[in-house]
C-alpha cells in the first residue's frame, strides 16, 4: 500500500551510525513523482532454477543524478526469484548500492528495503526512474550507514516480464530474500548478515521475508525485520468495499488489489467487484502512483460508496477466501521483528495491524510493536532504527508481547 517517501530522522540515523561505525549524514525529503516512461519491453531470461542468481547487471550511477552525492557504487540488476503463487522461477529487478570505502571485517551487512505501493504495471518499478520514484532516500540513508542496500521492484514491476500479484506476501517475501542473496552472490565484500526493512506494501514484504527466512533463506543470516504500517489482513478491507465503508485512499487502492487477486487466481474478474465509475476508469486507476493524480482524484471522488461491492455472494466469498490466504502471520518465526503503525491510519486501520501483532505474539514471535497515537499511515521510524541498530550490534531488544 502507498506511503509517501521520506527521509529517515537525523536522530535515528545517528543511532544506527553508532552501531555501524560510520559517519552520519542527513538527506532531503522527496516524494514519489514518476516521470513519463513507456512500458519496458518484456525481456526473456534464461532462468537457472537457482534463486539469487544475477541474470543481468548494468551501471545505475550514470542514470541517477539524484544519487550522485552518495558516492556509492550503483547497479541495476535482474535476479532470479520464486513466485509465491506457483513456485515457478521468476526474474525480478532491483537497484544495489555499495557504500564507498573499505568494507568492515566480515563484509558489508545488507539491508533490503521494500518500497510502498507504486502501482501494478511493469512501468511502475522504481528502478526504471533515476529517483527510484522518490525512494532514493532509502538508498542514501542506509548506504551512508555502511550497509549494502538493495531496493527490489517486486515481481512484475520493472522487468516487464510476468505479472505483479499485488500484496500476495509469499512472492514479495521471496523477492526480498533473493535480493539479499543476489547481492551476496554478486559482491564478494558482503556479509551473509542482512535485514528486511519496509513500509506499507514493503512492510508486509519484510514481515513475510522474516517468516520465510528459515525455510527459504538458506545461506543467509537474517538479523531482524522492520515493518512500518504493514497490511496484515486484507479481509477487512474487502469487507469495507462490500459494505460501502471504504475511506477515500482505500478506494484508490481497491483496483490494485483486484488486479493482484486476478494474477493469483485468473478466475477472479475485477469487473465482478467494480461499479460504473471504476469500470469506466479501469486503465486510469491502474496507472502508477503519482501519474495523472488529478484525473485519478476526480474518478475516486465520483465513486459511489458501494463502488466495490461484489455482484454476487459467490463472488464476494471467492475474493474473501483468496485474500484470506494472504493474512500474516502465517507461521511462527524466531527472528526479531519490529512493527510500527499509526493510530490515525486511514489506509491500514490500526486495529487490523494490532490484531496481526496479537496473532504473532500468540505464536511466540519475538516482536516489538509500537502504536503511534498521533501518526497516520506515514509513521515515525526513529524507534525502528534504534531497534535495527541494536539487533545488528547483537543487543537483543525485549519483546513487547
* pLDDT tens by residue, 169-182: 999 999 999 999 99
The residue written with cell numbers 491510519 in the block is: 345
Measured CA to CA, the distance from residue 257 to residue 244 in angstroms comes to 16
Check residue 334 and give its pLDDT: 96
Q: Residue 200 has what DSSP assignment?
A: T
Per-residue DSSP letters for 61-96? TTT-GGGGGG--EEEEEEEEEE-TTT--EEEEEEEE
Which among 148, 76, 136 has a CA at the least distance from the CA of 107?
A: 148
Check residue 162 and give its pLDDT: 65
What 3-state class would DSSP assign to 263? Answer: helix
pLDDT average, residue stretch 61-67:
86
Check residue 227 and give its pLDDT: 98
Which among 196, 161, 255 has a CA at the least distance from the CA of 388?
A: 196
Q: Residue 21 has what DSSP assignment?
A: T
Predicted TM-score of the model (pTM) = 0.91
**Confidence bin at 289 (pLDDT 50/70/90):** confident
Within 113-234, residue ranges assigned H as helices are 136-144, 169-186, 201-216
As a whole number, the mean pLDDT across the chain is 89
Amino acid at each position: 500500500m502507498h506511503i509517501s517517501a521520506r527521509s529517515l530522522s537525523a536522530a535515528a540515523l545517528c543511532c544506527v551510525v553508532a552501531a555501524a561505525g560510520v559517519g552520519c549524514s542527513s538527506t532531503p525529503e522527496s516524494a514519489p513523482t514518476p516521470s513519463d516512461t513507456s512500458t519496458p519491453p518484456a525481456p526473456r531470461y534464461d532462468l537457472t532454477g537457482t534463486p539469487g542468481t544475477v541474470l543481468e547487471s548494468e551501471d545505475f550511477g550514470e542514470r541517477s543524478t539524484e544519487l550522485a552525492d552518495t558516492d556509492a557504487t550503483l547497479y541495476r540488476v535482474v535476479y532470479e526469484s520464486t513466485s509465491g503463487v506457483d513456485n515457478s522461477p521468476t526474474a525480478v529487478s532491483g537497484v544495489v548500492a555499495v557504500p564507498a570505502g573499505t568494507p568492515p571485517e566480515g563484509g558489508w551487512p545488507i539491508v533490503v528495503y521494500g518500497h510502498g505501493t507504486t502501482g501494478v504495471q511493469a512501468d511502475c518499478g522504481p528502478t526504471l526512474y533515476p529517483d527510484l520514484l522518490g525512494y532514493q532516500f532509502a538508498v542514501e540513508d542506509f548506504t551512508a550507514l555502511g550497509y549494502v542496500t538493495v531496493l527490489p521492484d517486486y515481481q512484475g514491476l520493472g522487468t516487464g516480464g510476468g505479472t505483479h500479484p499485488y500484496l500476495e506476501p509469499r512472492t514479495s517475501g521471496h523477492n526480498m530474500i533473493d535480493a539479499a542473496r543476489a547481492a551476496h552472490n554478486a559482491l564478494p565484500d558482503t556479509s551473509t548478515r542482512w535485514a528486511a526493512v519496509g513500509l506499507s506494501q514493503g512492510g508486509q514484504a519484510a514481515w513475510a521475508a522474516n517468516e520465510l527466512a528459515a525455510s527459504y533463506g538458506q545461506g543467509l543470516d537474517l538479523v531482524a525485520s522492520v515493518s512500518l504500517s504493514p497490511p496484515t489482513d486484507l479481509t477487512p478491507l474487502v469487507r469495507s468495499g462490500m459494505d460501502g465503508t471504504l475511506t477515500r485512499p482505500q478506494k484508490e487502492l481497491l483496483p490494485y488489489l483486484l488486479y493482484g487477486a486476478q494474477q493469483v487466481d485468473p478466475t477472479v474478474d475485477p469487473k465482478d467487484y467494480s461499479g460504473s465509475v471504476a469500470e469506466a476508469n479501469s486503465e486510469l486507476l491502474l496507472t502508477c502512483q503519482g501519474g495523472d493524480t488529478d484525473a485519478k482524484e476526480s474518478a475516486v471522488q465520483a465513486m459511489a460508496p458501494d463502488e466495490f461491492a461484489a455482484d454476487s455472494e459467490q463472488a464476494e466469498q471467492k475474493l474473501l477466501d483468496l485474500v484470506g490466504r494472504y493474512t500474516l502471520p502465517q507461521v511462527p518465526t524466531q527472528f526479531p521483528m519490529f512493527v510500527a503503525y499509526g493510530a490515525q491510519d486511514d489506509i491500514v486501520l490500526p486495529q487490523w495491524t494490532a490484531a496481526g501483532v496479537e496473532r504473532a505474539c500468540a505464536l511466540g514471535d519475538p516482536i516489538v510493536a509500537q502504536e503511534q497515537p498521533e501518526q497516520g499511515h506515514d509513521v515515525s521510524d526513529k524507534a525502528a532504527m534504534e531497534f535495527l541498530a541494536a539487533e545488528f550490534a547483537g543487543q537483543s531488544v525485549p519483546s513487547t508481547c
